[in-house]
Structure 1
Amino acid sequence: MTTPIKLYRHPKSGHCHRVELMLALLGLPYETIDLDLANGAHKAPDFLRISPFGLVPAIDDEGYVLADSNAILVYLAGTYASAPNWLPREPRAAAEVQRWLSVAADNIYAGPCAARLVKVFGVDLDHAAAVKKAHALFKVMEAHLHGRDWLATDTVSIADVAGYSYIAHAPEGGVDLAPYPTIRAWLQRIEALPRFVGMARSPTPVLA
């Protein structure tokens, strides 16, 4: 490919970062287009033609436009990954990947993502409930990752990319990762991958 993929994003959105991380890990050329969400850029008519629900991230790959972070991960891996591990086709492995994409859309969103939305962006959500959900998720993940390196299969996949951003930045939402050594080791394995790119960090609140 010669034309960079356009990534419409907010630089501190974990949903956007998981797409940027996937682009980087695959070594794909891309350009970021930061939207001023506070002033409604995501609701402008031009952007709604790209992302009808007015949500970031969205991509434009030489005229093919797609929104939703997990859908974009599936598209990028299926289109550009040279190794099958990113998006396995074997039914059981594919099902395991899909299970963790669902966790990213549900448990991660309701837990560490929501807690961070309160602390970083001032969103009016129940912070205590989000922290409780985050710890409930992390207890399951901590047990799941014992004796294994990756969430879904024996190798890194889009499941790990989908899970990384909000979990790595959970302390910004007041969720302590100290009790979860296997999760922290998993995060470090992702950060050690070639071409890894991080997300801009926000101040971490004092943990109670």
Structure 2
Amino acid sequence: MTTPIKLYRTPKSGHCHRVELMLAFLELPYATVDLDMINGAHKAPSFLEISPFGLVPAIDDGGYTLSDSNAILTYLVKTYAAGSHWIPENAKYAAEVQRWLTVAADNVYSGPCAARLVKVFGFTHDHAAAVSKAHALFAIMEDHLAGRDWLATQTITIADVAGYSYIAHAPEGGIDLAPYPNLRAWLTRVEAQPNFVAMAASPIPELA
């Protein structure tokens, strides 16, 4: 690859960070394009040609454009690391990866992501409900990670990449990770991967 992949993002978005993580883990050259979403850059006609729903992240890979973070993870691996551990060929393992991608799009989004949107960005979501959903999710993940290192298989996959960012930054949404040692150990394992890149941090609010 000679031309860097363009990653359209906002720096404190967990959805964008999971794509940046994947790009870094695969050692793919990329250039970030930060959108001024407060002033509506994501709704500009030029960006809607790239991301029709006006959402980040989106990528431009040599003229091929794609939005949706989990779709981008799949594209990057299938294009640049086909047959690797990131998306297993085994049917049962592949199904486990897909199950955790769904969790990232649903439970993670409505739990730790939504709580963080309230505390960091001032969204008007029901914060108490989001915190409750996060703790329910983390309790399940804590049990699931007992005696295992990764969510879907014996190695890291895109399932772990998709889940990491918002869970790691859950304290910014007022959610305490202290009760979940297995979950915190999993986060540490992701952070120990070669080429790991961190997401920009926000102040952590006082826990009630």
Could you say which residue in structure 2 is the equivalent of 1:48? 48
Q: C-alpha distance in 2, partners of 1:149/1:79?
A: 26
Q: C-alpha distance in 2, partners of 1:26/1:147?
A: 27
Q: C-alpha distance in 2, partners of 1:176/1:142?
A: 14
Could you say which residue in structure 2 is the equivalent of 1:108? 108
Secondary structure of the structure 2 residue equivalent to 1:200 = coil
What displacement does 1:39 show? 0.4
What is the 5 A alignment of 1:127-146? Answer: 127-146=127-146
* Identity fraction in percent: 76
Structure 1 segments (4+ residues) deviating >2 Å:
none
Say yes or no: does 1:182 pair with 2:182.
Answer: yes
Q: C-alpha distance in 2, partners of 1:25/1:85?
A: 12
Q: Calculate the aligned-residue CA RMSD, in Å.
A: 0.7
Q: Give the aligned residue type for 2:95.
A: A
**TM-score normalised by L of structure 1:** 0.99
Secondary structure of the structure 1 residue equivalent to 2:8 = strand
What displacement does 1:88 show? 1.0
What displacement does 1:179 show? 0.2
Could you say which residue in structure 1 is the equivalent of 2:23? 23
Could you say which residue in structure 2 is the equivalent of 1:38? 38
What displacement does 1:89 show? 1.7
Could you say which residue in structure 2 is the equivalent of 1:192? 192
Q: C-alpha distance in 2, partners of 1:18/1:127?
A: 23
Q: Give the aligned residue type for 2:45.
A: P
Q: Give the aligned residue type for 2:145.
A: L
Secondary structure of the structure 1 residue equivalent to 2:207 = coil
Stretches of structure 2 that go unaligned for 5 or more consecutive residues are none
Could you say which residue in structure 2 is the equivalent of 1:156? 156
Could you say which residue in structure 2 is the equivalent of 1:67? 67
Could you say which residue in structure 2 is the equivalent of 1:87? 87
Alpha-carbon contact 2:12-2:199 (below 8 Å) kept? yes
What displacement does 1:176 show? 0.4
Secondary structure of the structure 2 residue equivalent to 1:65 = strand
What displacement does 1:137 show? 0.1
Q: C-alpha distance in 2, partners of 1:91/1:111?
A: 29
